[in-house]
Amino acid sequence: DARVTQTPRDKVTEMGQEVTMRCQPILGHNTVFWYRQTMMQGLELLAYFRNRAPLDDSGMPKDRFSAEMPDATLATLKIQPSEPRDSAVYFCASGLVLGTDTGELFFGEGSRLTVL
Amino acid sequence: AQKITQTQPGMFVQEKEAVTLDCTYDTSDQSYGLFWYKQPSSGEMIFLIYQGSYDEQNATEGRYSLNFQKARKSANLVISASQLGDSAMYFCAMRLRGAQKLVFGQGTRLTINP
């Protein structure tokens, strides 16, 4: 049963620490997304990749956030230094987008980040 | 710019009743896709149903159907014969054809009462 895998599931850290979240997309999917969910803002798109190339990271605070796909089986989202306002659930999603096809996205179970 | 609006922050429905969750969208594009996702208390996002803007028939998936009214720019989710397990947050989302990103509404929390 193919699924998107995210680690860690839960992370508690102190302000100023570096946080790295990892995502293994579904094999064969060519797009990967990072979303952040908070009560106040709902689901916000942070960044996404197609065929491992970053297409849009305009939703991401550039000074502290970075997203990469070192290979097709791994996407990372890094926060350095972390701040309390970064506390949220971070979702990774992958999909197979072919030309103009509007296929569904498959979400991981999320990484709940708490920054004290 | 795309925008999704879900005007019902919460809904309470009796078990076995049908429920309609509202969703309106705003885009000037003619080609787009509309999605509904369910998020139970465990947190994962579960895809429910998809409707393409050029699809003439309303999409259906088991107990889920999408009431697509293109002229009114609405894509309401209808759940027939609701069950206790349907209690969750429900998100409406849109993606423009040819674009990659999915834009979500704020969600509706549905509670099914026994």
| Contact criterion met (CB < 8 Å) for B43 and A48 | no
- Residues B80, B87, B46, A24: what is their CA dihedral angle, to the nearest 10 degrees? -170
Instruction: State the DSSP code for B59.
Output: P
- Which residue of B47, B97, B100 is in closest CB contact with A55? B100
Each residue's pLDDT tens digit, B57-67: 999 999 999 99
Backbone angles phi, psi at B98, to 5 degrees: 90, -15
Model confidence pLDDT, tens digit, residues B44-81: 899 999 998 988 899 999 999 999 999 999 999 999 99
- Cα B59 from Cα B35, distance rounded (Å): 10
CA distance, residue B80 to nearest chain A CA (Å):
22
Question: Which pLDDT band, with edges at 50, 70 and 90, does A58 fall under?
Answer: confident
Q: What percent of chain B has pLDDT over 70?
A: 98
> pLDDT at residue B1 above 80?
no
User: What local confidence, expressed as pLDDT, does residue B101 receive?
Assistant: 79
pLDDT at A101 over 60: no
